[in-house]
Amino acid sequence: MPDTTQQVLIIGAGPAGLSMACALADAGIASTVLEASPEAELAEPREDGREIALTHRGTAILQDLQAWQDLPPEAISPLRQARVFNGTAPQCLHFDSGQAERLGSLVPNHWLRRIAWLGAERRPLVQVRTQAKVTALELSAASARLTLEGGEQLQAPLVIAADSRFSATRRLAGIGAEMRDFGRSVILCRIEHEKPHEDQALECFHHGHTMAWLPLGGYSAQLSSLVLTLPTDLAQAQLAWSEEQWLAWVQQHSQGRLGRLKLAGSRHHYPLVATYAHRFAAPRFALVGDAAVGMHPVTAHGYNFGLYGVQCLASLLAGAPDPGDAALLTHYAAEHRRTTWPIYQGTNAVVRLFTDERPPARLLRQGVLAVADRLPPLKALITRQLTGQGRIGFSAR
């Protein structure tokens, strides 16, 4: 067993925790990743229905980590345009990639998990211990100590928690979090359609539900991922329907935008809960990934924020004599908050506006879409934020 007392300990081998370990290794810092699940779930992650929209900055970070090239070409689908509709009104807010070749790329989540695992596997400075569930944590100015299920204790100069938006270690570190339960769930499913998607995403805010269509051009010009957002009780009811009955409902509500539809996969569902940690650092402790910021998926920022945090923290720790240095962790916390807080708040405001069924809200969103569509500078600003080109750099030290 390697001596972990000088290594950074990372809790959680999701895509954020594993990418953190890879980024630290590239900065010359050894780490051990502790993961509750068995190895097979990390090495061969199952398809989970999520198609992750990556910004230009998120993509660049994966390229720097040498992970991007592990993706098969078909797993990368270009996103070149997006249209946002309010109800059945024909007018829409239209975004295109302007001078850029694309707005971003869509990659299946199970592929992102897999390339993060492959990256960790080939770096000698990264150890991954599976079936190692963290149950207790003690933090002091001198060091961090954690306990695994079974009683084993490990000590380190720094513990980084990447153990999901419902992070238990965040709570053990005495850090609270804002939690926003939207009372809604998403049903995800791949669907083949008659008309080509032209690499265009459609976001349709209907009364009572939202339908987003994400184009999967890497696989086919006639394949998209449907992201259907519904009040949770309706989502549960729909999941009990047969596939035929559900497809008929989707067909009826798709307004023929993509022609005849056919299921191309199984349905997956997720409750929608956003979380934002009150602090991102404590003595000898930092939060990354969803454990720091768990986003509503409508603006597609969750994993991108995970990658921005990984890049920021690893750059700050590179070359530092003590990776648990309090000033560095404070700098990371402030920087990550500056990057994420405006978009977290903006995303929640968009969700509130577009899920409020009262007539004034419906009118207001029609107005917002019309005004935004006629104001190129505002559209350009939104596009820059959504594609990760808003604040590319950050001041490390």
> Where does this chain bind ligand FAD (CB under 6 A)?
11-17, 34-37, 50, 52-53, 109, 133-134, 162-164, 168, 186, 188, 270, 289-290, 297, 300-304, 306
CB 328 to ligand FAD: min, Å? 21
Query: How many angstroms from the chain centroid is the CA of residue 91?
Result: 29
Nearer to ligand FAD, 217 or 289 (CB): 289
CB 333 to ligand FAD: min, Å? 17
As a whole number of angstroms, the distance between CA 200 and CA 93 comes to 13
Per-residue three-class SS string for 308-330: HHHHHHHHHHCCCCCCCCHHHHH
Nearer to ligand FAD, 154 or 258 (CB): 154
Residue nearest to ligand FAD (CB): 14
Type of residue at 91: Q
Sign of the CA dihedral 78, 82, 88, 90?
negative
As a whole number of angstroms, the distance between CA 306 and CA 116 comes to 13
CB 231 to ligand FAD: min, Å? 16
Instruction: Sort strands 177-193 and 159-161 into parallel, antiparallel or unpaired.
Output: unpaired
CB 52 to ligand FAD: min, Å? 4
* Number of neighbours of residue 135 by Cβ within 10 angstroms: 14
CB 377 to ligand FAD: min, Å? 25
Cα→Cα distances 72→108, 109, 240, 266, 343, Å:
11, 13, 34, 22, 31
Nearer to ligand FAD, 93 or 287 (CB): 287
For 165, the token pair is 């938006």
Distance in angstroms between the alpha carbons of the first and the last residue of the chain: 35
CB 301 to ligand FAD: min, Å? 5
Say if CB 103 and CB 97 are below 8 A apart: yes
Nearer to ligand FAD, 39 or 70 (CB): 39
For 281, the token pair is 């650092």
Nearer to ligand FAD, 62 or 93 (CB): 62
Nearer to ligand FAD, 59 or 222 (CB): 59
CB 327 to ligand FAD: min, Å? 25
Nearer to ligand FAD, 320 or 346 (CB): 346
CB 320 to ligand FAD: min, Å? 23
Nearer to ligand FAD, 48 or 243 (CB): 48
